Amino acid sequence: MIDKKTFIRFNLIFWILYFLYEWLGGGAMTENYHASLIKACVYMPAAFMVSYLSIHILFEKYFLTDRKTIFWVGLIFVVIVSVFLKRAINYYYVYPYIEPHPYPSPYLYFPKLLYEFVNLYFLVFLYSMFYFMRGWYKQQEAIQDLKQEKTAAELELLKSQVQPHFIFNTLNSIYAEAFKKSPETAQQIIKLSNLIEYTLYDSKKEKVALEDELKYIRNYVDLQKIRIGDKVDISFNIYNNINHILIPPLLLLPIIENCFKHGVNNSIKPSWLRIDISVKKNELVVKVENSVEPDAQSPKLHNGGLGLSNVERRLALLYPGKHDFKIYSEANSFLVVLKLVFE
């Protein structure tokens, strides 16, 4: 939700302020700044660990990825352990040595345990409130940027729409003539026509069937094979039923384009491209791997290029906490693994 630098800065400010409050605030009330300093040194790391476990481990990794059972079991476990541990620190160390006066209540005393819970998790709540407010603000900024980019793109599309429509209609006319003389050429024309039709109409939708997206990609790959010839071996594998899956249009195309732009096109020797689509429960897994020649690698290959950066940005906005996007660059191959959690 928050970039690394902002995360570190936010935590430094928040926990330093809490440390100062525990030390100076407690010292002002008891007039024992030494005891308050020791308590601050004990309480602050404990509160930080509990907050980090609750928000950044349990909430982000389990709750946001629809593994809510693990989240609740883990949260209850962390609450029980942290409350009893904090009670033990106070009962066996803080009260006897820092505040040496008798405390008649036993260790397992419910009001004291409740006090430790409220005291500790009020801080966790305060931390999470500031954290999520910051994340919400950043997300709103990103959404506004996306809206502005979408508006600009729509204006550009309106400006250039006449020419694609003209090309699309002309291709259909050429197809009718070509089919009489050369059916193979006609099939190539219809693939190109389908590409333009998908770009003009389906790309405006919020989501499209994964099958339609893959048909579009197949047409794109087939046209690339016509251009490149036999020097590329392409394997396209779908391992499960995908009829029920919807995805944003043109989400996968930049990944395939990257294979040709930074891999296949730069290869002098025969090259290969493998596209694997699988579904595991409610998770879509897309693996795209292509061969590369070390001597022919483009500098952009190492960071994925602009197209893959755009895919990452769209995923962050459209699937927050419900996607995994990893890039593996080896000496002779380039692999992109995309995982999407769908409803």
Degrees, nearest 5: CA angle 67-70-75: 125
pLDDT greater than 90 at residue 338: yes
Q: Alpha-carbon distance 250 to 256, whole Å?
A: 11
Least confident of 74-78, 88-92, 253-257: 88-92
Q: Alpha-carbon distance 338 to 327, whole Å?
A: 9
Read off the pLDDT of residues 189-236 as tens digits, 9 standing for 90 and up: 767 777 776 776 666 778 889 998 898 888 888 877 777 777 788 899
pLDDT at 302: 40
**If we measure between CA atoms, which residue out of 40, 126, 51 comes closest to residue 82?**
51
pLDDT at 168: 56
- Average pLDDT in the 70-87 region? 87
Query: Which architecture does CATH list for 229-341?
Result: 2-Layer Sandwich (3.30)
pLDDT greater than 50 at residue 161: no
pLDDT greater than 50 at residue 31: yes
pLDDT greater than 60 at residue 150: yes
> What are the angstrom distances between the C-alpha of 180 and each of 42, 135, 188, 189, 329?
85, 60, 14, 13, 47
Tokens of 226: 């016509």
Q: Alpha-carbon distance 54 to 128, whole Å?
A: 9
Cross-strand pairs, 238: 277
pLDDT at 278: 94
pLDDT greater than 80 at residue 136: no
For the chain, what are the domain ranges?
A: 4-153, 229-341
**Mean pLDDT over each residue of the chain, to the nearest integer:** 78
- Average pLDDT in the 167-173 region? 57
- Scan for tokens 């966790």, then name that residue: 124
Least confident of 125-129, 175-179, 220-224, 274-278: 175-179
> What are the angstrom distances between the C-alpha of 307 and each of 106, 142, 333?
63, 18, 18
Degrees, nearest 5: CA angle 291-297-301: 85
pTM, to two decimals: 0.50
Tokens of 170: 């002309």
pLDDT at 180: 61
Least confident of 95-99, 129-133, 173-177, 297-301: 297-301
Strands 333-341 and 283-291: antiparallel
Degrees, nearest 5: CA angle 171-174-180: 140
Degrees, nearest 5: CA angle 260-326-226: 15
The alpha carbon torsion through 148, 153, 159, 163 (nearest 10 deg) reads -170
**If we measure between CA atoms, which residue out of 261, 258, 250 comes closest to residue 308?**
258
End-to-end CA distance of the chain: 21
Give the single-character DSSP code of 136: H
pLDDT at 156: 57
Q: 111 vs 246, which has greater pLDDT?
A: 246
